[in-house]
A = this chain, B = another copy of it.
């Protein structure tokens, strides 16, 4: 059998070389269109492949999917819950159907018209219902930058940071898909020059460039997942913008962590790129020194080489300005370690849980994954192509994040997560 990741694969669908959605990718999402209600789709080139339609035409009859209506749901959760062998069967079968040497759809004009919807004619919804959302803090460069700015440059990393992947629970209800505008939040802040806190719209609205993985297998309370087992639990990944209000955060966050500074919105890219599609882009992680405790040890290449960029576009700008280029491979702690740590106390996972990386900052100032770091807490404003300056995000600005991996001429991309900031009301 030809593997779905094989660089030599081509589709009978014309796909531009710069498209994120080559036949080697096949990410899953939930879409709707004028002529169809929400259902599972797979991105291919400029199209969405309607997976439910495939099942209706018997094209999945040879697979172990007993209930094809799992592809006719508001969320991917029921499909994902079928487990990794089924994810792989489905992806392999879709790869087969889209290959240039397969006539099943290619030579059936009517079926082709029914199962392919142009992405521009479809709307992407939340891919999963998120029962639990955790945000890690796993980029050493980010943690060091924040520690330097807010605490003590000489001891920027707190003592626990290199011993465990620091994380905290975030708000699941306010995770929204790309395209939904974000209202500037209001809240309490405490400027240094006043005695009492004041109330109003945040003056330090920020993005955080992150990537999140989605778990596809529930676990029982009281059980653990080893670093070796972790990948059996990971369905795929999305881009994640962890919007943050820095002035609210610095006043509220002691001693129990970020709360209203984060939970007004988190935006995600709507296509879930499977871990299977990302396998060819494995790279070694950083050397971890001091050595980690045994339950955090791992073997093999567990980081992923995913190029990431962030752009900002104000309403008066004719095009987006790139303000950050980073890479997911900079992570100090990998996903396997994050899951092993998260469950070492017996905490249970659910299908659709989202686990975000924390801001992904690289070693150079142009690779910092937040305005906080890019402008060094507002002390070094960014100058945009139109000459205007930004310390933090202005009303009307649109922030877009994109990500892709590329190797051996094969590109596997995430599409984008984009949102415009609306003024506070």
Contact = CB atoms under 8 A, between A and B. Distances in A.
Contacts of A348: 173-174
A315 B248 CA distance: 48
A285 interface: no
Given A163-B197, A197-B160, A199-B294, A345 B256 contact: no
A186 B186 CA distance: 40
Which among A199, A258, A293, A345 has the highest number of chain B CB atoms within 10 Å? A345
Interface string A114-138: 0000000000000000011001010
Contact of A132 (B158, B173, B347): B173
Interface stretch (A10-18, A85-93, A259-267): A259-267
A183 B222 contact: yes
A406 to B, nearest CB: 33
Contact of A344 (B174, B186, B221, B256): B186
Contact of A197 (B158, B197, B293): B293
A252 interface: yes
Interface stretch (A164-172, A372-380, A395-403): A164-172
A159 interface: yes
B166 A169 contact: no
B159 A190 contact: yes
Nearest to A183: B222
A341 interface: yes
A253 B255 contact: yes
Interface in A127-166: 131-132, 135, 137, 158-160, 163-164, 166
Contact of A163 (B164, B183, B188, B265): B188
Contact of A199 (B158, B186, B260, B295): B295
B345 A248 contact: yes
Contacts of A159: 190
A187 B345 contact: yes
Interface string A170-201: 11111010000001011110100000110100
A1 interface: no
Contacts of A172: 131-132, 172
A2 interface: no
B160 A346 contact: no
30 contacts: A131-B172, A131-B173, A132-B172, A135-B256, A158-B254, A160-B188, A160-B197, A160-B254, A163-B188, A163-B190, A164-B188, A166-B252, A166-B255, A166-B256, A167-B256, A167-B259, A168-B168, A168-B256, A168-B259, A173-B350, A188-B293, A199-B295, A221-B264, A245-B345, A253-B255, A253-B256, A257-B257, A257-B258, A264-B346, A265-B346
Given A132-B171, A163-B190, A260-B341, 13 more contacts: A131-B173, A160-B251, A163-B197, A166-B255, A168-B169, A168-B258, A169-B170, A171-B347, A174-B347, A185-B345, A186-B346, A197-B293, A263-B345
Closest 10 A-B residue pairs measured CB to CB? A257-B257, A185-B345, A168-B256, A169-B169, A264-B345, A256-B257, A183-B222, A260-B345, A263-B347, A264-B346
